[in-house]
Amino acid sequence: EVQLVESGGGLVQPGGSLRLSCSASGFTFSSYYMNWVRQAPGKGLEWVSSISETGYGLYYGDSVKGRFTISRDNAKDSLYLQMSSLTAEDTAVYYCTRGWSGPDYWGQGTLVTVSS
Amino acid sequence: DVEMTQSPFSLPVTLGQPASISCRSSQSLVSSDGNTYLNWLHQRPGQSPRRLILRVSERDFGVPDRISGSGSGTDFTLKISRVEAEDVGIYYCMQGTHWPRTFGQGTKVEIK
């Protein structure tokens, strides 16, 4: 069974940093693009970032470019999102998802709240 | 960026009746490999989204055949032939052809 389990969310002050993690199981992690998608409270879905199977292909949404860094460790079946210079607009549930052209599996999400 | 526009924003439906959601993209979603990477996702209240449809019309495993997708180029439609209670929630279209990936704003389906 495919499982994606996010962790690392929490309350952070504006301007602060946070690192999200996603632990994957039930499939060959190194064979899939992985993504982060977020959803602000009561709002729609926003694609954040994607990383290729090898980690060499990196893609970012305009709203996070230069502030967020996606990475992966295929030996640990794990996906990461390093977030810095956080603002209130980054407050959202962050989902770890699998797939290149359309996420077929989603984690349960981890809530990031940016507030003083 | 490719803009995805869904309509309607809200869709009250009667159980057993059909429902239809439209999604239009600002650019063609036909990829250089010939595929059209248009997905439909469903999010029930309090749950993570779930993909229903990939590549315009292919149903994911376990999706009932009363749910179907159609369209081409820039115009796409999700249809539910007979709405059931489990169909309530928000439906999103999402394009996977161009970077950055983009979602429609969502269509809320509720029972009348």
Which pair of structure tokens corresponds to residue B52? 């229903």
Query: Which of B39, B51, B92 minimises the CB distance to A44?
Result: B92
Residue type, B83: V
Question: Cβ contact (<8 Å) for A102 and B54?
Answer: yes
pLDDT class of A97 with cuts at 50, 70, 90: very high
pLDDT class of A65 with cuts at 50, 70, 90: very high
Q: For residues A22 and B59, what is the distance between their CA atoms, to the nearest angstrom? A: 27
Question: Cβ contact (<8 Å) for A47 and B103?
Answer: yes
Query: Which of A45, A60, A102 minimises the CB distance to B96?
Result: A102
CA distances to A14, A41, B80, B111 from B15, rounded to whole Å, are: 46, 29, 11, 7
B68 phi/psi in degrees, rounded to 5:
-145, 155
Find, among B98, B91, B51, B58, the residue nearest to B74 by Cα: B98
Q: Which residue has the tokens 């709405």?
A: B83
> Quick one: pLDDT at residue A6?
98
Q: What is the pLDDT of residues B6-32, one digit of tens each?
A: 999 999 999 999 999 999 999 999 999
Query: Which of A50, A61, A106 minimises the CB distance to B49?
Result: A106
Which pair of structure tokens corresponds to residue A45? 């879905």
The mean of the pLDDT values for chain A is 97
Q: DSSP assignment of B59-91, as one string?
A: EPTT--TTEEEEEETTEEEEEESS--GGG-EEE
Find, among A90, A64, A66, A109, the residue nearest to A11 by Cα: A90
> Quick one: pLDDT at residue A34?
98
pLDDT class of A108 with cuts at 50, 70, 90: very high
The angle at the Cα of A55, spanning A52 to A57, to the nearest 5 degrees, equals 55
> Quick one: pLDDT at residue A89?
98
Q: DSSP assignment of A30-77, as one string?
A: GGS-EEEEEE-TT--EEEEEEE-SSS--EEE-TTTTTTEEEEEETTTT
Min Cα–Cα distance to chain B from A43, Å: 8
Q: What is the pLDDT of residues B53-110, one digit of tens each?
A: 999 999 999 999 999 999 999 999 999 999 999 999 999 999 999 999 999 999 999 9
